[in-house]
């Protein structure tokens, strides 16, 4: 996720930059003035804007938020020193994803950024509750957002080759990486499109479009050069599904 920071107080700008960097997000720019902010927004196409309300120059953060939203809907988190009802009401008109009062709590900032990302991709209330409950993956439209340390990593559903289970964990296998989730295979299966994914073993689900060959003697499936076990009770369903393609 690309983050634009707009803050005219050097100390807070440095602090925000440090926090966002530690969370693992890409900072496109750090600016403190309205026209600079507009140029940075138009040039860098940020996914999220951290925006101070009281800025140097003629434009306030609220003015910038209106300008940003008029050009391209982008999640905005206001960060301000003013705990003022009138300012809050004006800021609320721009539909920000959060409104944080300085000095802000780093954990609050992290949670606000995560939820802003999720809401942008259209998750429902249940998805947000999953994140609050410590789940490691949230499905948003055609992708999973998987929590790794202090950031959310986007994995396109189409890039998942197969899913396996080890102990109490499910593992999403892509061409170049494995993602470990604290969810059961059943929970993951419920979030996958059953027209694309099929269970081939009590501990494996495969992306049917990635199947290279099936060994009906050894009961194995080749996916991206790897062998995935095929359960005998799942064979007929798999063969039938392949014939339907």
Q: Say what the pLDDT of residue 70 is.
A: 92
Nearest 5°: the CA angle 142, 143, 148 is 170
Query: Any idea which architecture 2-120 has in CATH?
Result: 3-Layer(aba) Sandwich (3.40)
Q: Say what the pLDDT of residue 139 is.
A: 47
Q: What CATH topology corresponds to 157-244?
A: OB fold (Dihydrolipoamide Acetyltransferase, E2P) (2.40.50)
Domain definitions of the chain by residue range: 2-120, 157-244
Q: Say what the pLDDT of residue 138 is.
A: 46
- Tally Cβ neighbours within 10 Å of residue 114: 21
pTM listed for this prediction? 0.53
43 closest CA partner among 28, 54, 25, 64 = 28
Q: Say what the pLDDT of residue 126 is.
A: 42
Spell 91-111 as b/e; 16+ CB within 10 A means b.
beebebbbbbeeebeeeebbe
Q: In tens digits, what is the pLDDT along the chain, a chain of 245 residues? A: 789 999 999 988 998 998 888 887 889 999 999 999 999 999 998 999 999 998 888 899 999 999 999 998 899 999 988 777 888 888 888 988 888 888 877 888 888 888 787 776 544 444 444 344 444 444 444 677 777 666 677 788 889 999 998 877 888 999 988 888 878 888 888 888 888 899 999 999 999 989 999 998 899 999 988 999 999 999 888 888 776 54
């Amino acid at each position: 996720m690309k983050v634009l920071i707009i803050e005219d107080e050097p100390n807070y700008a440095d602090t925000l930059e440090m926090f966002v960097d530690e969370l693992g997000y890409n900072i496109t720019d750090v600016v403190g003035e309205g026209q600079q902010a507009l140029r940075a927004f138009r040039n860098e196409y940020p996914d999220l804007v951290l925006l101070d309300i009281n800025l140097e120059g003629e434009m306030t953060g609220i003015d910038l938020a209106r300008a940003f939203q008029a050009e391209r809907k982008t999640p905005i988190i206001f960060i301000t020193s003013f705990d003022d009802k009138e300012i809050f009401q004006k800021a609320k008109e721009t539909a920000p994803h959060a409104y944080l009062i300085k000095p802000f709590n780093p954990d609050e900032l992290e949670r606000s950024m995560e939820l802003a990302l999720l809401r942008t991709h259209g998750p429902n209330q249940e998805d947000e509750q999953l994140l609050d409950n410590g789940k490691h993956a949230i499905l948003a439209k055609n992708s999973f957002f998987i929590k790794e340390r202090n950031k959310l990593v986007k994995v396109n559903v189409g890039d998942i080759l197969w899913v396996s289970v080890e102990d109490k964990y499910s593992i999403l296998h892509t061409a170049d990486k494995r993602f470990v989730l604290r969810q059961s295979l059943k929970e993951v299966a419920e979030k996958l499109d059953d027209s694309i994914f099929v269970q081939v073993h009590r501990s494996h689900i495969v992306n049917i479009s990635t199947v290279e060959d099936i060994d009906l003697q050894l009961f194995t499936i080749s996916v991206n050069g790897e062998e995935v076990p095929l359960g005998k009770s799942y064979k007929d369903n798999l063969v039938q599904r392949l014939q339907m393609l």
